[in-house]
Amino acid sequence: MASLTFLGAAREVTGSCHLLESPALGRVLLDCGMHQGGDAVKRIHEEEFAFDPATIDAVLLSHAHLDHSGLLARLYREGFRGRLLCTRATAALLDIMLHDAVGLYLRDLERENLRHVRRGQPEIDPVYDESDVEAVLGLCEGFPYGERIEVGEGGVVVFHDAGHILGSAIIEIVLNEGEHSKTLVFSGDLGKLDSVLMNPPQTLHKADVVLLESTYGDREHRCEEDSLEELRDILHDTWRQGGSVMIPAFAVGRTQDILFQLGLLHQQGELDNWQVFLDSPMAIAVTGVYDRWLKLLDHDEVRKLSDVHRASLEGFLPTLQMSREVEESMAINRIKGGAIIIAGSGMCTGGRIRHHLKQRIWDARNTLIFTGYQARGTLGRIIVDGARHIKLWGEDYVVKARVETLGGLSAHAGQSGLVDWISQFQPVPQVMLVHGEFEAQEALAERLWRERKLHVDIPRRGQRMEF
């Protein structure tokens, strides 16, 4: 008998983590992600594992985003010594993501401890550090899509292309227990069919249980062509006003999409005379990884991307400037108008984007463009929901900048994409909706029942099921 316990991304979007237990496989985690939103140090220190990390035999990682991978170093610190399995491209990205995350965490912790010292309070010890990142990366094994990987005494794992970001995977797990065989499929995060930089998500047809993401279970996306037109119009309007544009960007996936779209506008003569700044050392490093792996994609458009993803971007987006150093980032503040600033983090929970918000969000000539999902509790979600005032480093700032959301640049499938993907399974499997807010999951569940007569379950955090 196998069992699943839903420990994160259950009726919520972030913190993906599910515990699979089976005699064939042992004790295996599907993802080990952190929750996002609120104070970064407090959030990390409040995370607790509902199991002993030393008892985990393996982690199967769907992709490198931190809400799926961000607690791996802490897992190691608390005793994990098993296998860490993912795709090869995910392994390359994970090295960048985890090192960047620990650097930000330790810098935030240092600032917090300075406040503690001034107040006469004891300092806070880190829950993990760089040595834990290095150690857990040493456990990482990268595999190509489609390869059968033996895990445990009777388990077989196969990674399939999820089309979400570089290296993202749908995880297929076959459990051979005596004369019985069962198949579990974890969708991970599924991409869109019309994404230029990604292949369409692969379709699978057989499973006993499917864990299906539901981030956009209640809405559709505009197509990428329409989103490019919308982006062009927003940029033109802001240019005429003499303002600048801030784009909080996820370093993996979304940043590369945005650079490609801006490059297209430039090639079409539609970019005015914008100065474009990529103000994220991690995004710059990730873009280099994309350059090495994009040859695996099937799209004709990818032939253009050998230029797009070189450090200089010569001939495709010549106005792009890479801001690696803090001084280069600060120098952008001296530009009063005509700057497109792409900076992390994507949900405004940290990183350089918050410094740019401090400099520009109070000016009505400027525009703030969100290109991805904003989780509850994040500063990005607060702004998208219409806040007129926000707090940055304890100070109040009025929100006068124009705020826009380009859903068509999302790396997630919309509702119809999710419905079409899960409908390929025959016979109908047991379906559990994960990685979505409850309202979105209810909307997806209602449509699946109305159109496909497919009943799904929406597990709560901590819920356990046997199959």
Q: What are the extents of the domains in the chain?
A: 3-219+411-466, 224-409
Compute the residue count for the chain. Answer: 467
What whole-number distance in Å separates Cα of residue 416 and Cα of residue 439?
16
Q: Which two tokens stand for residue 22?
A: 């089976």
pLDDT at 294: 62
**Beta-strand relationship, 58-60 and 83-87:** parallel
Q: Which two tokens stand for residue 389?
A: 């005032």
Burial class (CB within 10 angstroms; exposed 0-12, middle 13-18, buried 19+) of 431: buried
pLDDT tens, position by position, for the chain (467 residues)? 899 999 999 999 999 999 999 999 999 999 999 998 777 788 899 999 999 999 999 999 999 999 999 999 999 999 999 999 999 999 999 999 999 999 989 998 999 999 999 999 999 999 999 999 999 999 999 999 999 999 999 999 999 999 999 999 999 999 998 788 999 999 999 999 888 778 899 999 999 999 999 999 999 988 878 888 999 999 999 999 999 999 998 888 888 888 888 988 998 899 999 999 999 988 888 877 876 666 555 444 444 444 444 433 445 788 889 999 999 999 999 998 999 999 988 899 888 999 999 999 999 999 999 988 888 889 999 999 999 999 998 899 999 999 999 877 788 999 999 999 999 999 999 999 999 999 999 999 999 999 999 999 999 999 999 99
Concatenated DSSP letters for 43-56?
HHHH---SS-GGG-
CATH homologous superfamily for 3-219+411-466? Ribonuclease Z/Hydroxyacylglutathione hydrolase-like (3.60.15.10)
pLDDT at 466: 94
Burial class (CB within 10 angstroms; exposed 0-12, middle 13-18, buried 19+) of 198: buried
Q: What letter represents residue 365's amino acid?
A: R
What whole-number distance in Å separates Cα of residue 274 and Cα of residue 337?
9
Residue corresponding to tokens 């607060």: 382
| Contact residues for 437 (Cβ-Cβ < 8 A; gap 6+) | 11, 12, 13, 376
Residue corresponding to tokens 């993912």: 86
278, 341 Cβ separation under 8 angstroms: no
pLDDT at 360: 97
What whole-number distance in Å separates Cα of residue 400 and Cα of residue 341?
17
pLDDT at 313: 42
Supply the DSSP symbol for 15.
Answer: -
What whole-number distance in Å separates Cα of residue 426 and Cα of residue 349?
41
Buried b (16+ CB within 10 A) or exposed e, 120-148: eeeeeebbbeeebbebbbebbebbebeee
415-422 and 438-452 helices, crossing angle to 10°: 50
Architecture of the domain defined by 224-409: 3-Layer(aba) Sandwich (3.40)
Q: Which two tokens stand for residue 297?
A: 């994609």
**Beta-strand relationship, 430-434 and 456-457:** parallel
- Predicted TM-score of the model (pTM): 0.89
265, 245 Cβ separation under 8 angstroms: no
β-bridge partners, 170: 160
* Among 76, 299, 107, residue whose Cα is nearest residue 191: 299
What whole-number distance in Å separates Cα of residue 354 and Cα of residue 341?
12
pLDDT at 302: 46
Handedness of CA 159, 30, 284, 224 (dihedral sign): positive
Residue corresponding to tokens 């834990």: 132
Residue 140 backbone phi and psi in degrees, to 5: -75, 135
What whole-number distance in Å separates Cα of residue 354 and Cα of residue 173?
41
pLDDT at 301: 45
Residue corresponding to tokens 């600032």: 111
**Beta-strand relationship, 17-22 and 3-8:** antiparallel
* Among 201, 255, 199, residue whose Cα is nearest residue 369: 255
Supply the DSSP symbol for 353.
Answer: H
Q: What letter represents residue 178's amino acid?
A: G
